């Protein structure tokens, strides 16, 4: 069982990253910090005659890396009650990959994976973060990934997540589940 | 009553734009296509000693423009069950503006505005687009904007929105409401 | 195309009923006011050896009536951000019917129907009523009914719904759709 | 800190009850099984000249009991993706109590309490149960109760909840939090 972690945040050592590290400690994982790559927003050419243009950025290389793994962990701070724009731009591009001749089996390959979501927010995230969880469910349903669990933590200032005993308890469960 | 329209899509003459044009026809509006501007993703420095760095992109110029208006229409195709990454990156940056000395009254000014959301999606958007509507409510609650209404249309291929009589009927209501 | 309307409210001539009457005017419908019948809450015997007991109330007679129709309109005032307890008790009993030898084809018969939801609430129902809409989607998904549309109106005091032009416009669309 | 538990289920020793017992073990609580009482559905007389009639059932006696406590735990199996009709009818009646001269301080008294929700469902409850959680948030917001946490377990056949390690871990956290 091989794991890729996709980080959506843009703060080093943020609460979301800290919580994720608790979940994956001791497990072999490939960690991908989306902020370190150039990922262009999708240009919607699904219905254009010419189709999608080839984009010269880092997006495909990340797709190549996640396709190697069985489990994908999407981990994002909750910015304005949803995933970060960085992570959203990454997912938006899946529409292009679904039409990309270089990835004829993209949906099939994705549908053999399982996903988890880890998110930390500062404003009652276990309530106001729920629409985001529902969106991830819709996203995973569409692409065919099985959504195996999520973990929402509460924290604002760096390090505050360590006070969220509820989140720490679930993190420990998740860690055991991933072993 | 002065209106700014923020377009989040990245397809010329898409369904969302067509539906929006029906709502604003005959009204004086300032239209802003976010895709035409460089908007960097936020780097979360809310808790950094040095604070947020000054970013050399088009973001502030758009803030300056929307602050001039009473009504903001956020109009976005539904990509993967949410607003586009382009629009999300724009909203994520509000966290920086809230701390920006050049905008000491940002929240106060925003809280005097009213907002509408127009969105079009292809996969049962009037159900699967609801988490996005709930997120806009949370966003507007936080910044203090009054959320005065939304319009969800269904369409996939260019022009299909013209078949969505339900959406057209509400568009007409919205147009009257905005006069 | 034959239509049954299930009223969940408990106020004569309430806003929800008024809005529903606009939708169904001129159409042949069977109207069922759930408040006029005795419907016991379900006693959960799904996993009991003895199974569900036969209940002597009006529930089965209502099931018999709705099974005759192609389209079901669930119309309920929004009490505390959800359908009324009266309507919920009716739907809860479906779990019994799914196990009832007298209704061996209940799920199959229901899955050939289409459903609409009409609801009116007083506290920003087009936002705070959305979880209820999502629940109806889950309910219809489980039983196999196609969810063809919903209409949320705003009103509190009797008659106020007549001021909700947005709701009236959609009611008119729905009426045409049902013809 | 004094605790009342409101059970909404209608199966003895169900999964929801088992999970709740883990949370409250060793704590002094008053347990109220709503199914054991007669609670009439509300008749909506908020806007009737004559007002609400006095209802001869057990509802007020339950209100009297919960008003004595600081913490309310609403515990319900998830029937059809929401709270049971039994519990919904109980909450629907709050609209009457809000107008009842015998309870002039109902809202004020309720607003000094804190609430928890415990729910168990059989069909991916940690996703499909989220609209119910959002509704509880709206309910508590309206009445002024602080929503301090929720616990969603998964189980169908009696006893299955014991396999949900995630739920058990949070139950243990909740138990400590309530001490």
pLDDT by residue (tens digit) across B86-122?
999 999 999 999 999 999 999 999 999 999 999 999 9
> Do the Cβ atoms of C80 and D89 come within 8 Å?
no
Closest alpha carbon within chain B to C167: B170
Supply the range of the domain harboring residue B111.
Answer: 3-178
- Cα separations in angstroms, B112 against B147, B164, B166, B167: 11, 33, 30, 28
Sign of the Cα pseudo-torsion (A166, A170, A173, A179, in order):
negative
Q: How far apart are CA B136 and CA A131, in angstroms?
A: 10
Mean pLDDT of C74-96: 98
Local structure of C149: helix, strand or coil: strand
> Do the Cβ atoms of C173 and B166 come within 8 Å?
yes
Nearest-CB residue to C130 (from B134, B147, B173):
B134
Nearest-CB residue to C131 (from D35, D95, D131):
D131
What ipTM score was computed for the predicted complex, to two decimals?
Answer: 0.96
Q: How far apart are CA C62 and CA C64, in angstroms?
A: 5
Mean pLDDT of B18-41: 97
* Sole residue written with tokens 């042949």: C28
Residue pairs between chains B and C whose CB atoms are closer than 8 Å: 37
Output the pLDDT for position B11.
85
- What is the band of A44 on the pLDDT scale with cuts at 50, 70, 90? confident
Output the pLDDT for position B45.
85
- What is the band of A144 on the pLDDT scale with cuts at 50, 70, 90? very high
* Sole residue written with tokens 């489990």: A71
- The answer to whether D175 and D24 are in contact (CB under 8 A) is yes
Output the pLDDT for position C79.
97
Nearest-CB residue to C86 (from D41, D77, D79):
D41
CB < 8 Å to D177, chain A:
165
Sign of the Cα pseudo-torsion (C90, C95, C98, C99, in order):
negative
> Do the Cβ atoms of D41 and C81 come within 8 Å?
no
Output the pLDDT for position A80.
98
- The answer to whether C153 and C21 are in contact (CB under 8 A) is no
Token pair of A14, please?
């943020």
Instruction: For B39-107, give the DSSP string.
Output: -PPP---TT-TT-PPP--SSHHHHHHHHTT-SEEEEEEE-BTTB--HHHHHHHHTHHHHTT-TT-TTHH
CATH of the domain at A154: 3.40.50.360
Domain count within chain B: 1
What are the backbone dihedrals phi and psi of residue B23, each rounded to the nearest 5 degrees, phi first?
Answer: -70, -40
Higher pLDDT, D54 or B153: B153
CB < 8 Å to A74, chain B:
none
Q: Does C166 touch chain B (CB under 8 A)?
A: yes
Local structure of C164: helix, strand or coil: coil
Q: How far apart are CA A101 and CA A98, in angstroms?
A: 8
Instruction: Report pLDDT digits (tens) over C52-68.
Output: 889 999 999 999 999 99
Residue D154: which residues within 8 A CB-CB, separation 6 or more?
D120, D121, D122, D124, D125, D126, D160, D161, D164, D167
Q: How far apart are CA A90 and CA A109, in angstroms?
A: 17
Inter-axis angle of helices D165-178 and A165-178, nearest 10: 160
In this predicted structure, the answer to whether residue D38 has a pLDDT above a threshold of 90 is: yes
Nearest-CB residue to B170 (from C130, C147, C169):
C169
> Do the Cβ atoms of A10 and B81 come within 8 Å?
no
Please give the span between the terminal C-alpha atoms of chain C, in angstroms, as a whole number: 8
Output the pLDDT for position C86.
97
| A146-154 β-sheet, strand order | A29-33, A3-7, A71-77, A114-121, A146-154
- Touching chains, A (3+ CB pairs < 8 A): B, D
């Amino acid at each position: 069982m091989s794991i890729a972690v996709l980080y959506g945040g843009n703060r080093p050592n943020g609460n979301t990253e800290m919580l994720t590290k608790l979940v994956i400690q001791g497990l072999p994982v490939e960690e991908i910090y989306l902020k370190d790559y150039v990922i262009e927003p999708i240009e919607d050419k699904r219905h254009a005659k010419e189709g999608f243009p080839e984009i010269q950025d880092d997006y495909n290389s990340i797709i190549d890396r996640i396709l190697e793994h069985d489990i994908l962990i999407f981990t994002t701070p909750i910015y304005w009650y949803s995933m970060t724009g960085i992570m959203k731009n990454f997912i938006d591009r899946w529409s292009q990959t679904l039409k990309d001749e270089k990835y004829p089996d993209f949906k099939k390959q994705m549908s053999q994976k399982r996903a988890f979501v880890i998110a930390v927010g500062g404003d009652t995230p276990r309530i106001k973060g729920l629409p985001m969880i529902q969106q991830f469910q819709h996203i995973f349903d569409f692409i065919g990934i099985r959504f195996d669990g999520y973990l929402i933590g509460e924290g604002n200032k760096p390090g505050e997540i360590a006070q969220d005993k509820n989140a720490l308890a679930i993190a420990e469960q998740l860690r055991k589940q991933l072993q």
